[in-house]
Amino acid sequence: MKPLSLLIPVALLAAYAPAADAPAVPASPVAVKKELLFSDDFEAATPVKEWHKVVPTFAVEKGTLKGTQTRDKTAPAADGKPAVTAHAAVHGLEIPTKDSIVEVKIKFDGATMIDVEFDDRKYTGAHYGHICRAQVRPNGVTIIDERDGNMRNDIYEMKKDPAKKAEVAKLLAGRSATFPVKLEQGKWYAVVVETAGEEMRVSIDGTAVAYLKSSGIGHATKSKIELGVAGKDGYFDDIKVWNAEPAKR
């Protein structure tokens, strides 16, 4: 068990002034735990079989999962080599869920972003089956409905045309929300990501910090959970995935 950082004062996480169009963050959970589907403390001699590489590189180091973004620059095809697109490092789990609670400890060690993502590779209405995600940065948490937002096939293609920027912005209204937080490099934080119906809620060290309700989050089959790291190094530990049901509120 790795030590967590000291609890962040609630004032730093909750007493902020989010953007005018950002939704209020519910004080109570949106999801209730049912059965435990998966857990890993990264202490085993061999990787747990459910893990698989998506975008390298990840490695188990001193009982933690370490991710490092190596595809940090976009490079065109040259000298017989294919083009390379900048992309966060991604590690995947084959854990099908609809509503869930994901608990995981994270630590920034040069990383600029650490996220928990839900995908469905069989879903063809969005680029690469992206459904939704929660991105944690040292200065903010963003929840994104990708299925009906930025990764929806028609919107994904429109984003490539600068002339359609205003049209894309209208289509993306309400499909993501960002909330400021203040996190430090080198400290462990306990992150909880709840999905229930069309709602996603994120807590850090026991304080609710971000929330979004959007149709794509309610996708019935989230077949994969993926962990991502952008920037130098980011660490994960003590991950647990629970099946869940919507909380009665």
Q: What is the pLDDT of residues 170-179, one digit of tens each?
A: 999 999 999 9
CA 25 – CA 42 distance, rounded (Å)? 32
What pLDDT, on the 0 to 100 scale, is given for residue 87? 57
Q: What is the mean pLDDT of residues 212-233?
A: 96
Tell which residue, 22, 3, 5, has the closest CA to residue 179. 22
The share of the chain scoring above pLDDT 70, in percent, equals: 84
The share of the chain scoring above pLDDT 90, in percent, equals: 78
pLDDT at 9 > cutoff 80? no
Q: Which residues contact 191 (CB under 8 A, 6 or more apart)?
A: 103, 104, 105, 106, 116, 134, 136, 202, 203, 204
pLDDT at 14 > cutoff 80? no
Q: What is the mean pLDDT of residues 160-179?
A: 97
Q: What is the mean pLDDT of residues 193-222?
A: 98
pLDDT at 7 > cutoff 50? no
Beta bridge pairs of residue 58: 67
User: The tokens of 128 are what?
Assistant: 């690469």
What pLDDT, on the 0 to 100 scale, is given for residue 95? 95
Q: What is the mean pLDDT of residues 55-65?
A: 88
pLDDT in tens, 98-144: 999 999 999 999 999 999 999 999 999 999 999 999 999 999 999 99
What pLDDT, on the 0 to 100 scale, is given for residue 55? 67
What pLDDT, on the 0 to 100 scale, is given for residue 46? 86
Torsion of CA 72, 78, 81, 86, to 10 degrees: 20
pLDDT band at 187 (very low <50, low <70, confident <90, very high): very high
pLDDT band at 249 (very low <50, low <70, confident <90, very high): confident
pLDDT at 90 > cutoff 70? yes
pLDDT at 19 > cutoff 80? no
- For 52-164, where are the alpha helices, taking DSSP H only? 153-158
What pLDDT, on the 0 to 100 scale, is given for residue 21? 65
